[in-house]
Amino acid sequence: MPFASVMVALDLGTSSSARLRLAGTLARRFGARLIGVAARQALPQNLYGRGAYINSQFVDQATARATDELSQVEARFHEVTAEAGETEWRSAKADPMAFLVQQARSADLVVVSRYRSAGVEDWCSSIEPGELVLRLGRPVLIAPPSVETLAARRIVVAWKDTREARRAVSDGLPFMRLAEEVLIVALGDEADWKGAGETQGYLSRHGVTATTILRSPSKLGVAAELLVIAQQEGADLIIAGAYGHARMREVIFGSVTRNLLEHVPICCLLSH
């Protein structure tokens, strides 16, 4: 089934408009509803505490500012999507991560920015895409800051015989059905190679013609080699499973997932 709804996290940051245009092109391609989401905490979380006193005038000013800034983001959303199809706006004065996790129950695909340094008006920097992938239960498209379109004519599937990779293959079917070329890349042992071959057959039964690239890991590291292959093949989308778990208050990721979240200059569809 194609994506019926595409959700995008927005703010006043410099990359927000590009992210919105990217999500908009995907919504048009799939005939999907485009849902814009923004959340802004009126007061920083670190101001709250047992016995803390916060001046009421300060609270009123902060609340008014949050309301105004959310209105600015909403206005930008409606301006950019004026000629789009079905759209919807959702916002709240709330924690951006918690609000997005809650709202994602209405989405088939969620578009966010990759890890980046926080800016003054960049609320979505508090949305850690890795943690989001683990919590969401939806595929997450990680977009580099300047990317406005995603052709996805050539796609690299990072294959490893794990639950997460299988989930990613299933979640990525809407993209792969529209692609001109799909490459299943297995950088591992014979078990992974065999799994890549069977995944090729699985995709064929879903109307996707794919080829396999089977290699042992190189000194580059898996993430770097995936990117090299993607660039050589002219791919602009990597589909991969996200490997990680929460331990205490820290989210621990595998090295490949961490590199895809932080450094890869093309879009990545991650599933957990």
Q: What is the mean pLDDT of each run of 10 residues along the chain (272 residues)?
A: 94 92 97 97 62 68 89 96 92 94 98 69 68 92 94 97 95 98 93 93 98 90 91 97 64 74 90 94
DSSP state of 141: E
CATH architecture of 154-271: 3-Layer(aba) Sandwich (3.40)
The model's pTM is 0.90
CATH architecture of 5-143: 3-Layer(aba) Sandwich (3.40)
Q: What is the pLDDT of residue 125?
A: 59
Q: What is the pLDDT of residue 248?
A: 44
One fold for 5-143 and 154-271 = yes
The domain ranges of the chain are 5-143, 154-271
As a whole number of angstroms, the distance between CA 234 and CA 211 comes to 15
Q: What is the pLDDT of residue 90?
A: 98
| End-to-end CA, the chain | 19
Q: Which helix (H) or strand (E) holds 37?
A: strand 33-39
Q: What is the pLDDT of residue 120?
A: 43
128 contacts 114 by C-beta, under 8 angstroms? no
Q: What is the pLDDT of residue 45?
A: 56
Which two three-digit tokens encode residue 256?
């490949």
